Structure 1
Amino acid sequence: MSFAVIVVSEIGDKTFLIAAVMAMTNPRLVIFFAAISALGVMTVLSALFGHFLPNVLSKEYTQFAAAGLFIVFGFKMLWDGWHMDDTEGNDELEEVSAELIAKEKEGKDEADRERDDLMEAGGVTAAQKKDLATLDRLKSGAQNIANYFFSAVFIQTFVLTFLAEWGDRSQIATIALAGAEDFWWVTIGSLIGHALCSAVAVIGGRLLASKISVRTVTIVGAVIFIICGIYSFYVNYYKLNEDMTMLSISELLSRTLSPDVATREDAERQLETLARESFAQYMFLLGQELSSEASQIDIRRSAGIAMKNALSAKDEGIRSEFTARWLQMDQNQRKVIKDGLLRSLSSSHKAPGFAAAQVIAAVADIELPRQEWPDLINILVQNVTLPDDNTKEATLQAIGFICETIDPLVLQDVSNMILTAVVQGARKEEANQRVRLAALKSLWNSLEFVKKNFEHEGERNYIMQIVCEATISSDEDVQVASFECLVKIVQLYYDKMPNYMAQALYGLTIDGMQSPNERVAMQSVEFWSTVCEEEATRLADNMAGEHSSDFTPYPVHDFARPVGQKLVSVLLFLLTKKEEDDDEDEWNISMAAATCLTLLANVFSDDIVGLVLPWVQAHLQSTDWKYREAAVMAFGSILDGPKHETLAPLIEQALPFFVAMMKDSQVQVKDTTAWTLGRISEMMTPETVKPDQLHALISVVVGGLTDQPRVASNCAWCIVNLAEHMAGEDTDVATYPLSQYFDGLISTLLNCVNDKSDANLKATVYEAIATLVSTCAKDCFGTVERLAAEMLSRLNGTVAMQREVVSHDDRTTLQELQANICSVLTNIIRRMSNMIAPVADSIMVTILQILTSSQRNSTVLEDCFIVISSLTSAVDGDFVRYMNDFSPHLVRSLQNPQDHQMTAIAVGLIGDICRALNEQILPYCPEYMNCLVENLKSPILDRSVKPAILSTFGDIAIAIGSEFERFVAPVMQIVDEAVALVITVPQDRSFDQIEYANMLREGITEAYVGITQGLTTGQKAQLLAPYVEKMFVFMQSIVFDDEHSEEVAITMGGLIGDLADAFPPGSMARFYSMPWVDKLLKELRGMYYNPKGQDVGKWAKTRVKRQLAAAI
């Protein structure tokens, strides 16, 4: 820029013309060096002045001042040039020539006067003439030698040029440029520009000046000056804006750590805005902050967290949006960010390295499944071999996060590399225990995809050796991490454990249970809980499959039995590890031991009684409250395993003791006793309960409702269990064992809600009320009607409160209250059914008021929709009178896919309304169908909702019958797209993939069933003909997939029968003669533990026979 500015400003300027005229009558080389020397000195001085000016003024000011000067000078030059005469340049040339001639003449006149003075002083002799001649020659020679630097012409040109340049626009331009840009480049560019102009001047200046008018040069220069000024202003503004952004990133991150809520939320909002408007810049700036060793540690950590949160989310729809946003970035931009993340792993501080590890995992979760960032694992594995401990620790953390986040199938090709790196860091030879800890945590995360390694005994032995050695480390964190690994190993590789149990695990884990480090003890207990849970599950599965001819029983190694006595002894001792100030909600070793004892009882069954009961009897009346409490806890913990016949006499004997212990002086004892009474309540049935036992139990728990919240909460839970188990299988009875207590229980529970402020207690009490209502006999309906009026009154009261609440906490409390009341109302409506009709209008009015006044993301909306769902079943077709007012709320929820839970409830509610209104729902169907289709297409909506949407198509078809004709083609196209997702079975599917595939299959099949039934009822079954073959191909693909669920098979059985009924007998024989149809029907009839499946199989078999028989 400086070069261009000098060239356009100097051509035709005075300094240019001075050099041009002087070169006409003097040696050009002398004139060139004189001019360039003057201009060089002036340039250096100007650049220095401009360079140091920002030390006095802010650089931002000097940059914008320079840009302003360019624009001002540009317009000044444009004004001068526009009003300049075409010959004005020649006049200036003549003016300069005249000045030079005058100065030359003045010099000659002065020399003549000197000579005349000498002659007048006495004349000149011959000798003197000779000497003068010699002197003249010497002077001439000296002058010739000094011509280049000290001649009058050189000095004259230098002085004239220097003075002419002073204050000239080129000098000011140089000052401005040096203040805004790099000093050296401005100086060099200006010198080269001056040299070029001076060279042109001395070589052909006069010719150039005569050919190109100064007016033209001035106007061109003016335009260039203006362009340079505008460009400079733009660049400086952009740079300043970028600098302000960089500063604000650091400042905003700092503000996110502020204790002031408003400051923190404002900073988070600004960061979200930047991420939304300029995601690439946002990630780049955060990456710079994270990798900068000069930044504060907290800010670097915050930068890492912000980056991770911009890439990952729990909600699948949001996660998909984040993924697309990252992938839309340029590859080079992404590479710069990723390289910065990898550098951050080597931070001298641990926190930024840990944050970088999380971000790397988030990026890897996006890119590795798409075969991008292929060298990542190699880089991480190499990092583990580096000498720097911080780098190794952060890298191992990154590996762990990657293994935790990414589907194991994606990493199976690099599993050996990962395992090698992890085991390398976990060895006992690793001196740094932080590195070892990170390695063990990474091992825990990688255990799921090293299945092949566990199949090889040598590799398995080495891994187990590394983990077992870590359990005796001197570092407690390493110990805990190693036991966590053992817990997961026994869960994943149970069948590989027999040898290791006997050799090491028995001793390590039982010793670990007695460790003074509670975290180690808890993980050791968790190990045995996991063993027992696995064995209990296998025992249950084996029992369920024993009637199936193709079922292979799971091996049960009964690991706990050889050490049962020792194990129970340690667990009972751990139950006593309580303190008076223990937090009831905080998981501790005593709770862990109780849970393990429960699971052990499931495995040992009746045998657990002989191991536990003597200890209970010995300590039930101990003077030490810890042992009393532990004895009660032990009794309650073993009630799941033994047979009812074994427990019944024990409960009868123990119940009086427990009733008495509800008056214990120690609140922990009363709390655990109330919990144990709740467990005993689960064992009671109308057939086995004795009236005196029931009376004693109800009396003591009703009294306990007035005790401290933790005791009252367990008493309310006891009532929940009594209500569920006293009702029996048939709830449509005139009376039941709780009838005589029902009204009193409801009144006491309502009083408890009024008197207590504890939120958890209130929720449990309302649950008890709701459960009593849902299971009550008919002789309790009078109380239920009064309760309905009370609940409606309370709900109406919350509507007024809703308009008054301001704080977040108050709003949350109000929403919890509304949710609790709605749950009771829902059960009242379901229990009373059409008897609720007299107050249905009042209920809907109140619910609609809540829906109208609630925020879109309010949690109470879900509860309101559930109330409405129950009301649709109670009033059936009469619900149509509420549709005009309610439908907009339903549509609004369908149009909010970000809240997938609310969307799911709304989708289900459409099905309920369809079943209630049937064809009366037709006016609302087009809008509902549009919403449902949009949600299926939405990348934001959680995929778990989409199978239900497919099923709802079937509900709509059943409701409107033949009117569904208009929707058949588009719906079938959508269903075909869903079929394409599940008809091909990929190899090595994960559990989540199998589960979702079955959900999708069930949704598709239910859509087919509903459409088939609806069109058949509406005499439009022929519309199905083009789609029948696709339906059968779809079902065939499922039958031959061993991972299909029972629910899918049952729904397909229904579809088989419905299609057979939809078409004339014999017309479908070619489909029903396929071998897989008979295979499916046999599967259904063989569901010994699923009567529904057997019934559907038998029914479908009759329909198939009719089709085949007619074809013979």
Structure 2
Amino acid sequence: MGDVGVEPTGPLVNGGGVGETFQCLARENIDLKGILGSVLSVDDRLRWEAEAELERAKAQSPKTFLCDLGKVFADKSANPDIRRLAGIILKNSLTGCVGEFVNTQCFQGLVENIFSVLQSDIQPVRRCASQLAAELASYEIHCGLARDTLSWLISSTASDQLSPLLVEACLEAIGFISEELISKHGKTAPILLDQTLPILEVVVGRIRSPPTWEVQLKASNTLFFLLDFLSGPLGNRERLTEIMEILFTLADSRNMEVRLSAFHCLVYLAGSIYTELSPFIERIFAKAERAILYDEEPPALQALEFWSTLASVEIDNLENLASEQGNYVQTHGKFESLIAPVAKQLCYVLLACLTRQEEYQDEDTWNKAASARVCLGLLSRVAPSTVIEYVAPFISENVMDENSWRRREAATMALGIIAVDAMPAVLEDIVNESLPFLLMGLLHDECLAVRVTTALTLAKICKVSESACTLYFSELAQNLSIALRDDESVAKHACRGLYNLADYYKFADGVTESELASLAQVLRPLMMELFSLADRSSVEREGLKGLAFRSIGNYVDCAPESCLPILNEVATALLERLLVLRKDRPLSPNERAGIIYAQGILMASLTRYLSRVNPGNTGLVFKAKDRALEFIVHNSDDTLTEKALKLLAVIEKNLNADANGISEQIAPTLLALINSGRDGSIASGTMCAAVDAILELVRSAGNGFEAYLPTTVQTILELLSHPEVVWRFGPCLLTSLGELSLALGEGFQPYVDSSLVVMQGAAKISLSGEGVDQSLVSEEQVLQIRRSILHSTSCILRSSAGNGQRTLAVQKLSWVLAICENVSGDDSARKLNPYLADALVGLAITVVVEMMSVEAQGQVQEWIKKLLEKGFSSPNPEIKSLAGKAAVEIGLHSS
């Protein structure tokens, strides 16, 4: 027999119908125990041969195979791992196929073997027997047969004459049955209701008078699956009271696993029947408080989870109420909170947990301190006044405690939590009072855990406290920059704080000259520290390197004009890093993802710099162009290609027309990329970015693009002749035709007729659904295509103004009026996407006015009046103004 210890795999272990057939015949009198032992072997060849042998045996005689498995499963002399494997294969083979054997003698023997194993003293084997018994009972219930198995399980559970091991197994089987039936039929299914009360009665009986604590634990675990019925038709106050009394008894058990099971049930009730728990909240708090403060960690964590769950439900209720009444803060006074009566005592418990942290632990470690942090944050949103009243003194008293690093860290953590989750004006005083000590502790506290939490809290304060960013900007920037040199666990939070500080300058209203001067003063050393952090950090995705580069990009956006010389240096440094991040060696998937992520951020930061500074034809711009083209040609990541295309489009704006043959260098690459859209090998975002880049090249290169114009237009028109391309890339390709007509003016006239034909074809495709599975098409896709058609129509009409071509174009655009009429009568678009609906109305009005100014339409049709009415009723003032001007132009009064 092979070595035992490998978790079984393969088709039989993972499932497979009994009726499967195989080409090979099994040998007679096979050694089933020996084959099962080989399935568990660490030798791959031996395991594969054994699995094939099992398949052949099953194919030859499925019934005999199942009976033999049952015999091995019940054989007390067999290896326990082999017995367990036999049970697993037996269960997977029986699933869905019980009916083929239910009336056979072989099946009756199999049932006897399963029942005999229910009292095995080997737990994994006994558990398999419980699963098999549950499978049999579920079959009887689903088929409407006499529920012999379930009745036997219930009566065996209630019997005092049977062994505790058998009672355990029966309870576990009942739990499996309840879980499966509720998941399949729901808690109100009639199929369950007639058996639920007998099950509940026997489970409760075993909780109250268990022969062993193991039986009580199984009964408690089974009770968990029956809790769903408390919110269904069987739920009432008396039954809930009975269950709660049982849970309170279990919470006092001497056994830790039983106490854990009790709190597991309470957590479930907090999420499922929140409103019914009010009479019990004080007693729940008493049990939870003792568990959190004095019990072992598993029950303590579940007790904390109860309050977190309760708070989450209350937050959802508050948000729903606020959405109806429009004010989140005011809803607190109108909402009856279950937590409010115990909020103060709960704060005490949570703060006590915060002071029990470990000095050296991974941030992902889940313990009482971590769970208390989450719970305090949720509580701050439910009962902010109570939390601030109780937590604020704790912060003031302990944030400077020189004798206990745990109390310093807990106070700092508490400040960060309530600063984010309960940040009314009263907290500004606490924040400003604590900041000097936090800034000092960030650099000088001897405890790493305190420095980590301080950096985290400062990062949160930089995000939510305008007064802190205003009053302490220089100190925050300087100290957070220096903290980048600390341990990585400190540096990442300090870097996030610097990122948030830049956000303040980007988005805050009324930033003063003195504040901008403060930023200018610290920008150079700040950037040096960020680059240093990026250079020494690993390339893991979402790691410090990427965060450092993102922070640099944020300061590129918000730096004042006086800092442009520094930004020029920053851009050069960004480009240098882009060159360094090469894949010149075999990389792990994580490293490759990290490099792509960092490269994307670098290109985005360069794009933001060039968009803002516009340095013109400089060496930096030409180097950036070369790098962008290199990424477009050689990179296989769509996201990175899209960023390179956006960088290239901004570079084109910076370069003068015809500079150094720019069209010759760029156009072929872009056209090849756009043309690859025929086979769907690029993402829609990449296609849109490529089209934008080619349009920017047309605008920048002027006459230098003439050689590539026919190929460009022909490529776009050819793509739009394929229905699948219209659905995937239609909006950006159709829009590009209009933008080309505006950029080229009369130079686009040779392509007007063919463009209008293709646009009309795209309109028909959008109406007919040709070329795509209709179930995959959204109404918004259709609206986007129509918007692009109207946009390009308007552009072509405008570019044709002043020459005879405009009249000819209008004569070929009667089909566009049908789209405009559709817009006038479509009231569903606004419900779907108000912004898109406004854009469609505005474009339709523009097109109608353009066409009516060329070709007299006689009396204004009713749908045009309705279209203008939509314009007048738009919340967008630009659309209203457009409708007013249109009404005047076509001879209607805006009133």
- Normalising by structure 2, report the TM-score: 0.67
Give 1:863 deviation, angstroms: 4.3
User: Corresponding residue for 1:923?
Assistant: 715
Task: Tell me which of 733, 743, 746 is aligned to 2:524.
Answer: 743
* Unpaired stretches in structure 1, ≥5 consecutive residues: 1-234, 311-325, 853-860, 896-902, 934-948, 983-999, 1040-1045, 1086-1093
In 2, the alpha carbon distance for the partners of 1:496 and 1:243 equals 62
User: Corresponding residue for 1:194?
Assistant: none
Residues 923 and 743 (structure 1), Cα distance of their counterparts in 2 relative to 1, 3 Å cut:
same
Residues 429 and 710 (structure 1), Cα distance of their counterparts in 2 relative to 1, 3 Å cut:
same
Within 5 Å, which residues of 2 pair with 1:190-229?
none
Task: Tell me which of 354, 375, 379 is aligned to 1:575.
Answer: 354
User: Corresponding residue for 2:299?
Assistant: 520
- Is 2:342 aligned against 1:563? yes
In 2, the alpha carbon distance for the partners of 1:377 and 1:930 equals 62
In 2, the alpha carbon distance for the partners of 1:1002 and 1:441 equals 48
Give 1:1100 deviation, angstroms: 11
In 1, the alpha carbon distance for the partners of 2:249 and 2:169 equals 23
Size of the aligned set, in residue pairs, is: 765
In 1, the alpha carbon distance for the partners of 2:130 and 2:783 equals 44
Give 1:669 deviation, angstroms: 1.4
In 1, the alpha carbon distance for the partners of 2:721 and 2:148 equals 51
Task: Tell me which of 375, 391, 400 is aligned to 2:179.
Answer: 400
User: Cα deviations across residues 622-655 of structure 1 (Å, max 9, x unaligned)?
Assistant: 4122122112212222113445532222222211
Task: Tell me which of 660, 663, 676 is aligned to 2:440.
Answer: 660
SS at match of 2:521: helix
Please tell me whether the aligned partners of residues 474 and 518 of structure 2 are also in contact (alpha carbons under 8 angstroms): no
SS at match of 2:449: helix
User: Corresponding residue for 2:759?
Assistant: 964
Give 1:960 deviation, angstroms: 4.3
- Is 2:765 aligned against 1:765? no
Give 1:815 deviation, angstroms: 3.2
User: Corresponding residue for 1:385?
Assistant: 154
- Is 2:404 aligned against 1:624? yes
Within 5 Å, which residues of 2 pair with 1:149-160?
none
Q: Which amino acid aligns with 2:25?
A: K
Please tell me whether the aligned partners of residues 384 and 421 of structure 1 are also in contact (alpha carbons under 8 angstroms): no
- Is 2:642 aligned against 1:871? no
Please tell me whether the aligned partners of residues 480 and 495 of structure 2 are also in contact (alpha carbons under 8 angstroms): yes
SS at match of 2:206: coil
Within 5 Å, which residues of 2 pair with 1:512-551?
512-546=291-325
User: Cα deviations across residues 798-836 of structure 1 (Å, max 9, x unaligned)?
Assistant: 4342xx316x4xx53243233223223223314533849
In 2, the alpha carbon distance for the partners of 1:669 and 1:1034 equals 60
Residues 306 and 739 (structure 1), Cα distance of their counterparts in 2 relative to 1, 3 Å cut:
farther
Please tell me whether the aligned partners of residues 958 and 1011 of structure 1 are also in contact (alpha carbons under 8 angstroms): yes
Residues 1100 and 965 (structure 1), Cα distance of their counterparts in 2 relative to 1, 3 Å cut:
same
Task: Tell me which of 2, 24, 44 is aligned to 1:238.
Answer: 24
In 2, the alpha carbon distance for the partners of 1:875 and 1:376 equals 76
Give 1:556 deviation, angstroms: 2.0
Within 5 Å, which residues of 2 pair with 1:54-203?
none
In 2, the alpha carbon distance for the partners of 1:381 and 1:822 equals 60
User: Cα deviations across residues 348-382 of structure 1 (Å, max 9, x unaligned)?
Assistant: 665478789999999x9xx99xxx97669989966
In 2, the alpha carbon distance for the partners of 1:354 and 1:863 equals 49
User: Corresponding residue for 2:17?
Assistant: none
Q: Which amino acid aligns with 2:507?
A: G
In 2, the alpha carbon distance for the partners of 1:1002 and 1:377 equals 54
Please tell me whether the aligned partners of residues 134 and 173 of structure 2 are also in contact (alpha carbons under 8 angstroms): no
Please tell me whether the aligned partners of residues 301 and 351 of structure 1 are also in contact (alpha carbons under 8 angstroms): yes
Please tell me whether the aligned partners of residues 358 and 401 of structure 1 are also in contact (alpha carbons under 8 angstroms): no
In 2, the alpha carbon distance for the partners of 1:697 and 1:723 equals 11
In 1, the alpha carbon distance for the partners of 2:886 and 2:258 equals 63
User: Corresponding residue for 2:277?
Assistant: 497
Please tell me whether the aligned partners of residues 625 and 666 of structure 1 are also in contact (alpha carbons under 8 angstroms): yes
SS at match of 2:303: helix
In 2, the alpha carbon distance for the partners of 1:628 and 1:240 equals 72
In 2, the alpha carbon distance for the partners of 1:831 and 1:519 equals 52
Task: Tell me which of 704, 711, 727 is aligned to 2:490.
Answer: 711
User: Corresponding residue for 1:821?
Assistant: 599
Please tell me whether the aligned partners of residues 480 and 519 of structure 1 are also in contact (alpha carbons under 8 angstroms): yes
In 2, the alpha carbon distance for the partners of 1:707 and 1:356 equals 56
User: Corresponding residue for 1:51?
Assistant: none
User: Cα deviations across residues 954-1008 of structure 1 (Å, max 9, x unaligned)?
Assistant: 44443446423334444444499987799xxxxxxxxxxxxxxxxx565555455
User: Corresponding residue for 1:907?
Assistant: 684
Please tell me whether the aligned partners of residues 688 and 732 of structure 2 are also in contact (alpha carbons under 8 angstroms): yes
In 1, the alpha carbon distance for the partners of 2:174 and 2:623 equals 65
In 1, the alpha carbon distance for the partners of 2:84 and 2:126 equals 9
Give 1:708 deviation, angstroms: 1.7
**More RCO (CA 8 Å, sep 6+):** 1
User: Corresponding residue for 1:838?
Assistant: 622
- Is 2:204 aligned against 1:427? yes
In 1, the alpha carbon distance for the partners of 2:192 and 2:333 equals 28
In 2, the alpha carbon distance for the partners of 1:950 and 1:1028 equals 20
User: Corresponding residue for 2:503?
Assistant: 724
In 1, the alpha carbon distance for the partners of 2:449 and 2:561 equals 39
In 1, the alpha carbon distance for the partners of 2:132 and 2:819 equals 48
Give 1:611 deviation, angstroms: 0.8
In 2, the alpha carbon distance for the partners of 1:701 and 1:929 equals 57
Task: Tell me which of 645, 670, 693 is aligned to 1:883.
Answer: 670
User: Corresponding residue for 1:216?
Assistant: none
In 2, the alpha carbon distance for the partners of 1:307 and 1:1048 equals 54
Task: Tell me which of 462, 472, 479 is aligned to 1:681.
Answer: 462
Please tell me whether the aligned partners of residues 400 and 445 of structure 1 are also in contact (alpha carbons under 8 angstroms): yes
In 1, the alpha carbon distance for the partners of 2:230 and 2:291 equals 26
Task: Tell me which of 395, 403, 419 is aligned to 1:639.
Answer: 419
Q: Which amino acid aligns with 2:643?
A: V
User: Corresponding residue for 1:145?
Assistant: none
Please tell me whether the aligned partners of residues 1072 and 1104 of structure 1 are also in contact (alpha carbons under 8 angstroms): no
SS at match of 1:508: helix
User: Cα deviations across residues 1040-1092 of structure 1 (Å, max 9, x unaligned)?
Assistant: xxxxxx7645545555666676668645379989xxx99x999x96xxxxxxx
Task: Tell me which of 671, 674, 677 is aligned to 2:452.
Answer: 671
Residues 928 and 1029 (structure 1), Cα distance of their counterparts in 2 relative to 1, 3 Å cut:
closer
In 2, the alpha carbon distance for the partners of 1:707 and 1:850 equals 38
**Cα RMSD between the aligned structures?**
6.1
In 2, the alpha carbon distance for the partners of 1:488 and 1:974 equals 47
User: Corresponding residue for 1:218?
Assistant: none
Give 1:675 deviation, angstroms: 1.4
Q: Which amino acid aligns with 1:626?
A: R
